[in-house]
Structure 1
Amino acid sequence: MAGPILTSEQLGRATLARQLLLERRPTPVKRAVARLAGVNAQGTEQPYLSLLARVDCFQPGTVVRLLRRRELVRATGIRGTLHLHTADDFLAWRRALAPVIERVARNDNSRDFQTLDLDALLAAARQLFDERPRTRAEWIEELAPFAEQARRKDSVGLVVRAFLPLVQLPPAGEWGSSEAPAYQLAETWLKRPLGPADEGLRSLVLRYLAAFGPATWKDLQYWSGLTGLREVLEKLQPRLRILHDTVGREYFDVPRAPLPDKSIKAPPRLLPALDNLLYAHDDRSRFIETDAPYDRRRAVNTFLLHGRVAGTWTIERDRLALHPFDTIPRNQRAPLRAEAERVLTFLAHETITVDLP
């Protein structure tokens, strides 16, 4: 299914619309997490700030309730990093994501994989989790005989977390929680089995396009960490629409997904470090100028103006400091300040002071 030729601005507006960043609505949190294809959760505050930027009237207690009701889970997933997913999506995608999660563990522990008896280690670990949930420190201690085979004692912790489909149990991931997380097998905690890898991969690809498209196969590969995705997209092509940019690059998309005009206004938004918006495309030009002083390998908070990354932000005591890459236009200063004050209020700072040079 062919479509129009898109400029970088149109690609950006399309993704912003799907990421709930063009208009903030009171979207149910579970529906928002599903629509976003998951929310990065490497830090406790990160998923809450990502949702705050997108959901009107967002309350952190909603996430807490959904975690306790087992409708959301915090677990290792996309790119082998912690994410907040709906339980349905995690169960559907975990086997499809296993190759990248396991690859990350192997790369981090390449020497130890030559000496560890992986099958015996995982069988022993499953027996532990069949008894009850464990913290990482607990299972490392209980699996100490296997650690003797490894160069690093912590390798046992990394391998078990990567090769078993574990989820972190509440209160891990809850707003304000600092407790060491306890883990349990996803099938046990959610009382449902993992889905098959092939169906999960097709679902993952389609949901990625719905959340971040239009996109190239390289974009999909960068976001997921998986390989061989060009072939998957080619098999799905009858179900997709094909678009091109102004230099002829091919983009894949799901039918009827929004393609707003580039003239649609994009309001200022503050995003936390590692927000998936900035980790979903190999080519970052739809959101970031090529000469912008920004390196997504560094975990920094960013803010958007006119739908593009215009600077970073930090919190220092009771002040939220904005660090723009360039002069902020006069007509954008008040909206940006209001957005920053909204974030600071959410973080419960008593004194609301925003520094805007």
Structure 2
Amino acid sequence: MTVLSTRALNRATLARQLLLDRVDLPVLDAVGHLCGLQAQEPQEPFVGLWSRLQGFAPSSLSGLLVQRQVVRTHLMRRTVHLLTADDVIAWRCRHDSMLLQRVLGTYRRELASVDLTELSAAGHAVMSDGQPRTMAELVQAAGGRWPDVPPRVLGELLIAGLVPVVQVPPRGLWRNKSGVRNVLLTAWLGRPLAQSDAGPALVRRYLAAFGPAATADIRAWSGLTGLPAAVKALQPELVSFRDERGRLLLDLPDAPRPDPDTPAPVRFLPAFDNALLGYDDRTRIVDDAHRLLSVAGTRVVLVDGRVSATWTTADNAVTVTPLRTFTRAERSAVAEEAERLTEFLT
């Protein structure tokens, strides 16, 4: 079985994540290809798409949110993601159990007295009118039976575990700092959630955007524990490799796996970018010493395809802090990309 080097996996990841070359792709198609963008920080997806798409205009993403073609909702790993409407309709039911269990795992003691069926019914009843509500407003209307449970805990259970909602605009629009207001997902999109098993489609879509990858990587990206059956069913149509650690990697036969020596341009990634968080073994793109930067929400810079610096903004300028010594050519390339990013942001 072919062994793929860490550098080969890096170049494959960059190609799948649209980071090897900026692509001429409609924003909606890019969001779909990437299986969504992590988006708990509302402005970060704009940087993620700027780094990936030719001539990206922030208004195009804002327009998709307003037109309800893209939505903000809790999904993979119980984190807020920006997803196409079609994908959230197809995938939400497959994530229901994981979303609920992750909330219960965090607040099981506080929620011991709560009847989940009763609270779910109350939450759906309140939200059924399609009116935007804050989490506090939803808790006040639906959580009166449990006055001893902290409102924040009830709110997270309702919004992230029991009631499929979306965060509606102006939240998430370009340069907008509006707070979170929620609407029932099906009311916002005007169609029911798909009930079919999305497992095989999820695996295929993940591999297209992140492969080659191990089943542990798929689990780390999605938060789901029930995908081995889907992987097993698909395995006859997939190709297999090993990484340098001996892990079995799976991939789509015709997916791009560039030559390891393919040049990789400097790329600035936003906080919580799935190019890093979408794997259990992240050594293909970040050294273990810097693994936790992405978990902490630190913005990072890819140089030669790997996390090599962090970046922040202050006084209308992008500031870069290297994590290693750069060559003169690397310093120049980073500075040029930082200037382009500064122009985009300001």
Task: Place the TM-score, normalised by the shorter chain, in its bin.
Answer: over 0.9
Cα distance in 1, alignment partners of residues 3 and 191 from structure 2: 43
TM-superposed deviation, 1:144: 4.2
Separation in 1 of the partners of 2:57 and 2:146? 43
Match of 2:269 among 251, 268, 271: 271
282, 285, 305: which is aligned to 1:284? 282
Counterpart in the other structure of 1:191: 190
Partner of 2:135 in structure 1?
A: 136
Aligned to 2:176: 177
Q: Which whole-Å CA distance do the structure 2 matches of 1:293 and 1:182 have between them?
A: 33
Tell me if structure 1 keeps the 8 A contact 2:199–2:227: no
Give identity over the alignment, percent.
38
Task: Give RMSD over aligned pairs.
Answer: 1.6
Question: How big is the shift at 1:99?
Answer: 2.1
- Which residue in 2 is equivalent to 1:35? 33
Quote the residue 2:144 is aligned against.
Answer: 145
User: What corresponds to 1:94 in structure 2?
Assistant: 92
**SS of residue paired to 2:262:** coil
Aligned to 1:119: 117
Q: 1:56 aligns with which of 35, 41, 54?
A: 54
Partner of 1:80: 78
What amino acid is aligned across from residue 58 of structure 1 in structure 2?
F
The question of whether the paired residues in 2 share the 8 Å contact of 1:93 and 1:197 is answered with no
Compared CA separation, residues 222 and 320, structure 1 to 2 (3 A): same
CA distance in 1 between counterparts of 2:149 and 2:103 reads 14
Q: CA deviation at 1:295?
A: 3.6
Deviations 1:1-31 (A, max 9, x none): xx74311111110111011000002311000
- Structure 1: tracts of 5 or more residues without a match: 349-357
Range with bigger deviation, 273-282 or 234-243: 234-243
Letter in 1 for 2:218: L
Distance change (3 Å), C-alpha of 1:81 and 1:158 = same
TM-score for both structures, normalised by structure 1: 0.92
Classify 1:294/1:137 alpha carbon distance in 2 versus 1 (closer, same or farther; 3 Å): closer
Q: Secondary structure in 2 aligned to 1:79?
A: helix
Give the conservation status (yes or no) of the 8 Å contact 2:273–2:294.
Answer: no
Give the letter aligned to residue 232 of structure 2: E
Give a deviation string over 1:287-324, Cα, whole Å, max 9, x none: 12234485433110000000000011111223321111
**Aligned partners of 1:111 and 1:151 also within 8 Å:** no
Q: CA offsets per residue over residues 58-105 of structure 1, 9 Å max, x none?
A: 111101111111110111011000000000111111111122211221
2:199 and 2:217 map into 1 onto residues whose CA distance is: 15
Task: Find the residue that maps to 2:54 and give its secondary structure.
Answer: coil
Q: How far 1:239 moved relative to its partner?
A: 2.1
| Residues 129-138 or 213-222, more deviating | 129-138
Picking from 231, 236, 256, the partner of 1:258 is 256
Answer yes or no: is 1:324 the counterpart of 2:322: yes
Q: Which moved more, 1:265-274 or 1:179-188?
A: 179-188
Q: What is the CA distance between 1:137 and its match in structure 2?
A: 2.1
- Distance in 1 (CA, whole Å) between partners of 2:222 and 2:178 is 29
Aligned residue in 1 for 2:208: 210
Equivalent-residue separation in structure 2 for 1:79 and 1:204 (angstroms) = 14
Query: 2: CA distance between counterparts of 1:185 and 1:207?
Result: 26
Deviations 1:198-219 (A, max 9, x none): 2x12211111111000000111
**Pick aligned residue for 1:341 from 331, 339, 342:** 339
Paired residues of 1:136 and 1:157 also in contact (CA < 8 A): yes
Residue deviations 1:225-266 (CA, integer Å, cap 9, x gap): 111333331121122111222453210111200010001111
Aligned residues of 1:26 and 1:58 also touching (Cα < 8 A): no
CA distance in 1, matches of 2:256, 2:204: 14
Moved more, 176-185 or 257-266: 176-185
